[in-house]
Amino acid sequence: MKKKVNKIEIDGVFQADLSNYPLDKWNVLTTILQGEEYLIELEYIGIVPYEISQINLRKQLILNNISIKSIDALIQTLPNPDRELIYTMWEYAVVFDRDSEELNQMAQMLGVTSEKLDELFINGNKL
């Protein structure tokens, strides 16, 4: 996977800002400076899958007694623009990233802990 990250200076040396990619979960394959940003190529090595398909996440939620209707109802209670943004993600995303701010926000609102979300990703990717 390739991502663009900011250039930061540490002790007078410029380097890629990898703060969103902890080295216990990510292996940095290449780093290329492009102006004020770095293009990095990453390989995910964590135990919890980095992403899950929409269909597998929905199946896993159902298998864990979290109804799709309850999620739809929760989305409708949100103020705009959050409601429209999260609705669009929920309905049209092909995959969900484990680190997605919107996904983690929805999980918290549903009472799903970070550990439970990890479990949903792990088991959902086995379907």
DSSP state string for 72-97: HHHHHTSPTTHHHHHHHHHHH-SEEE
Range list of β-strands (E), 19-123: 26-34, 37-44, 51-53, 95-97
Q: Indicate the pTM of the whole model.
A: 0.67
Q: Which residues of the chain have pLDDT under 50?
A: none
SS3 34: strand
Looking at residue 19, its amino acid is: S
pLDDT at 22 (0 to 100): 82
Give 12's contacts (C-beta < 8 A, 6+ positions apart).
Answer: none
**For the chain, what is the mean pLDDT?**
91
- Please report, rounded to a whole number, the percentage of residues in the chain having pLDDT higher than 70: 100
